[in-house]
Amino acid sequence: MRALCWGGGLLLSLGVDAGLAKRDTAVVADGVVVAQQTARLVDTHPEPQSREVVDDENTENTGAGMIGTVGFNSATLYRYATLGIHQLEENLGDADTTDDGARLFLDAFARSMPTGHTNSYAHRTRPSLVAVVVRADQPVNLVSAFENPVSVREDDRGGIAEKSARRLAEEHGRAVRQWGDEPVLAAGASGGGPAHAGMVRD
């Protein structure tokens, strides 16, 4: 999937990957503006801290030289990315390729997993909630929903994922009320029931 794009004084064959995040640095000339940004993922709740220390003095064993313990934990994570459709189309120069690229990016972002400790924990989970907000002005990251971490008591009926989805919905509604800028579209997909499905409703 490739398209011609004018950039940096050269006629380039620019792939969707380069049009999104300028990864193909051997081909992409200066002047191509990235169309996609991805934030660091964060836990929505308190998480036990683990610590790993490497033995720098170990010269005989070429394997892992970790000293200490690693805590085992299952975290609920908030992941955020933004995609500028207008910039992607400018980079790719073709509306159909832009539509295909946007769909592929959304699918890949929803299905991708953090790579740390993959062999140790095999954390092959699917998202509890995927929310998409289309805006005509600027992207809005709702990470402030978790400034106070989500907590669950023994008498609570919902789990951390459900509470996190509710917190996200509340932050979305608060931001819209505060700034008065309704998005063009807000939608969520989840298998977690009404509490999850209501993520984008105020």
106-165 per-position pLDDT tens digit: 999 998 887 777 787 787 888 899 999 999 999 999 999 999 999 877 667 778 899 999
CB atoms within 10 A of CB 133: 17
Task: Please state the φ and ψ torsions of residue 16, each to the nearest 5 degrees.
Answer: -60, -40
Which residues of the chain fall below pLDDT 50?
1-14, 23-29, 193-202
The reply to whether 58 falls in a domain is no
154 and 111 in a single domain? The answer is: no
Q: Domain count for the chain, please give it.
A: 2
Range of the domain at 3: 1-45+76-126
Quote the DSSP letter at residue 60.
S
18 and 80 in a single domain? The answer is: yes
The reply to whether 173 falls in a domain is yes
Q: What are the residues facing 76 on neighbouring strands? A: none
Task: Please state the φ and ψ torsions of residue 190, each to the nearest 5 degrees.
Answer: -160, 155
Residue carrying structure tokens 């509470």: 163
Chain centre distance of CA 73: 20
Among 64, 92, 126, where does a domain finish? 126
157 and 194 in a single domain? The answer is: yes
Please name the residues in contact with 148: beta carbons below 8 A apart, sequence gap of 6 or more: none
The reply to whether 51 falls in a domain is no
Looking at residue 74, its pLDDT comes to 73
